Chains A and B, each alone.
Chain A
Amino acid sequence: MGDVTRIIITRLGLGVLTLLVISVLIFGAVELLPGDIAQAVLGQGATEENLRALRTELGLDRSAPVRYFDWLTGAIVGDFGNSLLTQSSVTDTIAPRFANTLFLAAYAAVIAVPVAIILGIIVALLRNTLFDRVANVATLTSISSPEFFLGYILILYFSVKTGMFPAIAKLSDDLTFIELLERTFLPALTMVLVVVAHMMRMTRAAIINLLASPYIEMARLKGTPAWKVIARHALPNAWAPIINVVALNLAYLITGVVLVEVVFVYPGIGQLLVDAVTKRDFPVVQACCLIFAATFILLNLAADVGAILTNPRLRHPK
């Protein structure tokens, strides 16, 4: 296990390094602002005195590297400073919303992952049949549709026309778990539709790739039944690509959530980010971007590590 842990630690280190560079990017991007934050907040007509006062308040009189390290050390312990508009702590605003977003993503993932993998395997086995072609066109359509299109179609049919599910995912504290699941069903379903399509296509490609290898042909030639070829011969080797597919799509879920949250007015971090961008509330934007990027990198890292753990060949790079 010695070299496995070493590889994983190297990957983790690389991930942390990437995140550091991204934090510089996110911080530096705001520095590129024409004028500075104080100017952007107060507008063109601000007097010199007001500007100076705000600059001192925000600590803009210090040099950029000093402020960056301040911001970064704060971010590591979970303190992202105060919002420019409401003066409240960014962390307190983000924390409950981030939990909501994670809940929605987890809800979608729990439905999507098994469905996508099973369908993907079926489609791979039935490749080049009519069913496969229909599935191909259907998944392609689902991928090509903007998230808000799928969301509004679901609202139209499941909420407006039949009234089965609420169109607006409003949350309150006194909801039971079942009610919560019902309220968030449509946004979750929207994400499921997009992600299942992606995952199915990737699973199909991975399995077909695998079924083309000589040892599968050997198993077939020696007369192994079809299900046994899949279960005993193909699947053990298919885990690596499938884990990869799942992790990559979960990463996709995290970002696709922004549009879905806006469609369903879901109180998540994506909605917050969009609001903050419109109102140019930079500390909130920076914090949200950093959180999104960190989640994205973490899931990609999980994909890497999962692939290494299930595929011994990757442990000995050429």
Chain B
Amino acid sequence: MNYFVIVYYALLIGGSCLAAYFKRREIFLALFSLTLASFVMGIVGGQDALWAVSIAAGLLALAAGTAYAFREFLVIISGTETAKALRTAPLTASFGMFVIFTYAVLGIFAPVIAPFGEAEVISQSFAPADENMLLGADQLGRDLFSRIVYGARNTVGLALVATMIAFVIGVLLGMVAAVKGGWFDQLMGRIIDVVMSIPGLIFALLLLSIFGTNLIILVIIIGLIYAPRVFRLTRAVAGNVVVMDYIEAASLRGEGMWYLIRKEILPNSTAPLIAEFGLEFCFVFLLVAGLSFLGLGIQPPTADWGSMVRENATLISFGEITPLIPAAAIALLTVAVNFVVDWMLFRSSGLKE
């Protein structure tokens, strides 16, 4: 028994007693079951296990604190309407926004933030971290930290462009199909059915084997693979709008198809479409990362998170966690986007289970 263990249990038990006193049943249950679990973990894993729990709890508290502060910050700097909506955002959503904001800053200001260039060899391969290099060097002796910063620009940028292509194609065709109906709608529906019955990664691999791994081709292929999903959603959403009276009024007024799509249908289906953009971005991002990991995406020497994991994977067998950082960066962004999307879907649907 040392001070750490005593303080650890005192905090947990004190916290659960307080929660019980103030009738916060859920917090009490969580804290007390954590206490009970700690007994077992302390016996099996010793003090290290308890340290791990404390560190995890500390990180969680830090994330929650950051999320809370960021939400308040957004509420203060935004206008009244937006502030009202933001105030109801759950902590997970504001945490997601904070992460997205950080990634955007990293990506946009990459050359300023990164201490070295993305292809600059400055040291020996797999050199350990020192005062020059925050995370050490990669397999060719390039600064890993700088490459991660540049990766935010390259990987996320590529995924964003591909998502936009998928979106432009999907939304446009979906809207036209909803307005026109008839044979065009049927034909598009059948084509989409076929394309969607091929798994995305497999389809991407097939096309890449044929056209080679050129960056522009990569973006177009990924955009085309995910366009059908956007098409389906747009067709469904727009299908509900098209039957409205004001659409009929507009078309009786003699407005053309483009006017209907631009001025009537699009403004009335933005909420689900924006949420879908977030979801779609996650899928595209994971596909891009997967392809790069397989060596078929963004080609070296351009820094990219997926291929960085693969190139430095040998370090893992020495118990190093540095190769996992780019992978964790991918996961973090995807989770963040999902958090925000969850909140937006909740808001737009008004669903309260």
Binding site for B on A (CB under 8 A): 18, 21-22, 25-26, 29-30, 32-33, 127-130, 137, 140-141, 143-149, 152-153, 155-156, 160-161, 167, 208, 251, 254-255, 258-259, 262, 273-274, 276-278, 280, 282, 285-286, 288-289, 292-293, 296-297, 300
- Residues from chain A with Cβ under 8 Å of B282 in the complex: 144
| Contact status of A152 and B309, CB under 8 A, knowing A22-B194, A208-B353 | yes
Interchain CA distance A301-B282 in the complex, whole Å: 27
Question: When the two chains form the complex, which single residue of B210, B294, B318, B330 contacts A30, counting CB atoms closer than 8 Å?
Answer: B210
CB-CB contacts of B287-319 with A at 8 A, as 1s and 0s?
Answer: 001100111100000000010011001001111
Q: Are B210 and A292 in contact, with the CB atoms below 8 A?
A: no
CB nearest to B328 among chain A residues = A149
| Contact status of A156 and B194, CB under 8 A, knowing A29-B207, A33-B210, A146-B286 | no
- Residues from chain A with Cβ under 8 Å of B296 in the complex: 274, 277-278
Is B92 engaged at the interface, CB distance under 8 Å to the other chain? yes
Output the least CB separation between B292 and chain A (Å). Answer: 10
- Residues from chain A with Cβ under 8 Å of B205 in the complex: 258, 273-274, 277, 285, 289
Q: Are B324 and A21 in contact, with the CB atoms below 8 A?
A: no
Task: Given contact pairs A141-B331, A274-B294, enumerate 11 new A-B contacts (beta carbons under 8 Å).
Answer: A29-B210, A144-B334, A144-B335, A146-B290, A149-B331, A277-B208, A285-B205, A285-B209, A292-B198, A292-B202, A293-B202
Interchain CA distance A141-B282 in the complex, whole Å: 12
| Contact status of A146 and B210, CB under 8 A, knowing A155-B316, A255-B201 | no
Binding site for A on B (CB under 8 A): 26-27, 29-30, 92, 193-194, 197-203, 205-211, 282, 286, 289-290, 293-296, 306, 309-310, 313, 316-319, 321, 323-324, 327-328, 330-331, 334-335, 338-339, 342, 353
- Residues from chain B with Cβ under 8 Å of A145 in the complex: 327, 330-331, 334
CB nearest to A262 among chain B residues = B294
The 5 closest A-B pairs by CB, nearest first: A144-B334, A149-B327, A255-B199, A145-B331, A277-B209
Interchain CA distance A292-B200 in the complex, whole Å: 11
Output the least CB separation between B158 and chain A (Å). Answer: 15
Q: Are A296 and B198 in contact, with the CB atoms below 8 A?
A: yes
Interchain CA distance A19-B255 in the complex, whole Å: 42
- Residues from chain B with Cβ under 8 Å of A251 in the complex: 199
Please, could you name 19 A-B residue pairs with CB atoms under 8 Å apart, sorted by A? A21-B194, A25-B194, A29-B206, A29-B207, A144-B338, A146-B286, A146-B293, A146-B327, A148-B309, A148-B327, A149-B324, A149-B331, A152-B316, A160-B318, A258-B201, A258-B205, A277-B206, A277-B296, A285-B209
- Residues from chain B with Cβ under 8 Å of A148 in the complex: 290, 293, 306, 309-310, 327
- Residues from chain A with Cβ under 8 Å of B209 in the complex: 276-277, 280, 282, 285
Give the dominant DSSP class at A's interface: helix
Interchain CA distance A18-B323 in the complex, whole Å: 41
- Residues from chain B with Cβ under 8 Å of A128 in the complex: 353
- Residues from chain B with Cβ under 8 Å of A208 in the complex: 353
Q: Are B338 and A140 in contact, with the CB atoms below 8 A?
A: yes
- Residues from chain B with Cβ under 8 Å of A152 in the complex: 309, 313, 316, 323-324, 327
Q: Are B331 and A156 in contact, with the CB atoms below 8 A?
A: no
Interchain CA distance A251-B197 in the complex, whole Å: 10
Interchain CA distance A39-B310 in the complex, whole Å: 31
Output the least CB separation between A51 and chain B (Å). Answer: 19
| Contact status of A137 and B92, CB under 8 A, knowing A145-B331, A277-B208 | yes
Q: Are B293 and A293 in contact, with the CB atoms below 8 A?
A: no
Q: Are A130 and B198 in contact, with the CB atoms below 8 A?
A: no
- Residues from chain B with Cβ under 8 Å of A25 in the complex: 194, 198
- Residues from chain B with Cβ under 8 Å of A258 in the complex: 201-202, 205, 290, 294
Q: Are B197 and A18 in contact, with the CB atoms below 8 A?
A: yes
CB nearest to A277 among chain B residues = B209
Output the least CB separation between B170 and chain A (Å). Answer: 19
Q: Are A149 and B330 in contact, with the CB atoms below 8 A?
A: yes
Question: When the two chains form the complex, which single residue of B199, B203, B319, B334 contacts A156, counting CB atoms closer than 8 Å?
Answer: B319
Output the least CB separation between A284 and chain B (Å). Answer: 9
Interchain CA distance A21-B195 in the complex, whole Å: 10
- Residues from chain B with Cβ under 8 Å of A259 in the complex: 201, 290, 293-294
Q: Are B331 and A22 in contact, with the CB atoms below 8 A?
A: no
CB nearest to B327 among chain A residues = A149
Interchain CA distance A137-B92 in the complex, whole Å: 9
- Residues from chain B with Cβ under 8 Å of A141 in the complex: 331, 335
CB nearest to B342 among chain A residues = A140
CB nearest to B294 among chain A residues = A274
Interchain CA distance A146-B316 in the complex, whole Å: 17
CB nearest to B333 among chain A residues = A144
Output the least CB separation between A139 and chain B (Å). Answer: 10
